[in-house]
């Protein structure tokens, strides 16, 4: 399948590292002009330079700013211009005993993981509807369906993101704009690799270490390895393309079979 996103403008929040960076690269490699976002301008500029060094054909623009507040969001949208493809990737996560999660932490997780996405959808969806084409994608997690005991606040925020996507898909019904969420399973990032080696002998080769980790600590996974960020990005690029024109209001799983369900 040929994924052609030429003449499309994409914004990927939190795209200076990890899954967001992989998504930005995949969209750019498919022909989209991609706005790279992060809070620190120097981090954004560095990522833009790195991505261009990997492929000079990538059309990239720096869009630094904190999308968890209105001022930062306004600055990011001004740098990016009219958005055809919005990828809400920004998110925070961390573990905490359930009864120790304070009101402040509950609000922070909701503000960053949910409200920031809502704010950007509210700002970009009208233009997409007016132009008759658009893609809104929010990166959720297996934790949306399998709430972790040690990360209830995180799971709550990702469950809410599924509801947000489904609701806005109804708002965009019949306009040529699709709204979906992507449920990412346990994924190989720098932070996760460090976490794995906290539980597995650091002298263990990586391929063996991650398999040992998955079998002992993530036995639900049918993949039995961590998902690579590029594998998440592949699904996002497809859903962002004209090829996925009949998929909307969906929670599409790239979870390695982690969620025990026969219904996507």
Residue ranges in 63-219 assigned as alpha helix (H) = 70-80, 103-110, 116-131, 152-171, 190-199, 206-217
pLDDT at 95: 87
**pLDDT of 264 above 80:** no
Average of per-residue pLDDT across 127-151: 96
Nearest residue to 37 (alpha-carbon basis) of 108, 109, 120:
120
Give the pTM.
0.96
pLDDT at 190: 87
Q: Tens of pLDDT along 151-205?
A: 999 999 999 999 999 999 999 999 999 999 999 999 999 888 988 998 999 999 9
Token code pair at residue 192: 């996760």
* Active-site pick, 109, 154, 197, 238: 154
Nearest residue to 26 (alpha-carbon basis) of 8, 3, 50, 46:
3
Token code pair at residue 162: 């599924």
The fourth-level CATH superfamily of domain 9-187+228-253 is NAD(P)-binding Rossmann-like Domain (3.40.50.720)
Nearest residue to 154 (alpha-carbon basis) of 98, 195, 211:
98
Q: Tens of pLDDT along 41-76?
A: 999 999 999 999 999 999 999 999 999 999 999 999
* 154 has catalytic annotation: yes
What is the CB neighbour count within 10 angstroms for residue 9?
18
Q: Are 12 and 35 in contact (CB under 8 A)?
A: yes
pLDDT at 238: 98
- Indicate the pairing of strand 177-184 with strand 251-254: parallel
Q: Tens of pLDDT along 72-121?
A: 999 999 999 999 999 999 999 888 999 999 999 999 999 999 999 999 99
Domain boundaries of the chain, sorted by first residue: 9-187+228-253, 188-226
pLDDT at 223: 95
In which residue are the tokens 């369900």 written? 261
How far apart are the C-alpha atoms of 109 and 8, rounded to whole Å?
31
Burial class (CB in 10 A: 0-12, 13-18, 19+), 8: buried
Element holding 205 (H helix, E strand): none
């Amino acid at each position: 399948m040929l994924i052609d996103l030429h003449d499309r403008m994409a914004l990927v929040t939190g795209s200076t590292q990890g899954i967001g960076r992989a998504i930005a690269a995949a969209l750019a490699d498919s022909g989209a002009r991609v706005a790279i976002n992060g809070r620190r301008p120097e981090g954004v500029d560095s990522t833009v330079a790195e991505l261009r060094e990997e492929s000079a054909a990538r059309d990239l623009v720096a869009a630094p700013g904190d999308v968890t507040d209105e001022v930062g969001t306004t600055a990011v949208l001004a740098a990016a211009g009219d958005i055809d493809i919005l990828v809400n990737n920004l998110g925070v996560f961390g573990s905490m005993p359930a009864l120790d999660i304070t009101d402040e932490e509950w609000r922070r997780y909701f503000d960053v993981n949910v409200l920031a996405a809502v704010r950007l959808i509210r700002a970009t969806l009208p233009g997409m509807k007016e132009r008759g084409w658009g893609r809104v994608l929010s990166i959720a997690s297996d934790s949306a369906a399998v709430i972790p005991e040690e990360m209830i606040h995180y799971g709550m925020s990702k469950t809410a993101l599924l509801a947000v996507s489904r609701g806005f898909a109804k708002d965009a019904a019949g306009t040529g704009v699709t709204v979906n969420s992507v449920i990412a399973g346990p994924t190989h990032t720098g932070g996760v690799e460090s976490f794995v080696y906290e539980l597995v002998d650091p002298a263990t080769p990586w391929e063996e270490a991650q398999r040992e980790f998955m079998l002992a600590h993530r036995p639900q996974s049918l993949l039995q390895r961590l998902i690579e960020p590029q594998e998440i990005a592949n699904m996002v690029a497809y859903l962002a393309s004209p090829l996925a024109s009949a998929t909307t209001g969906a929670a599409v799983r790239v979870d390695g079979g982690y969620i025990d369900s026969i219904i996507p």
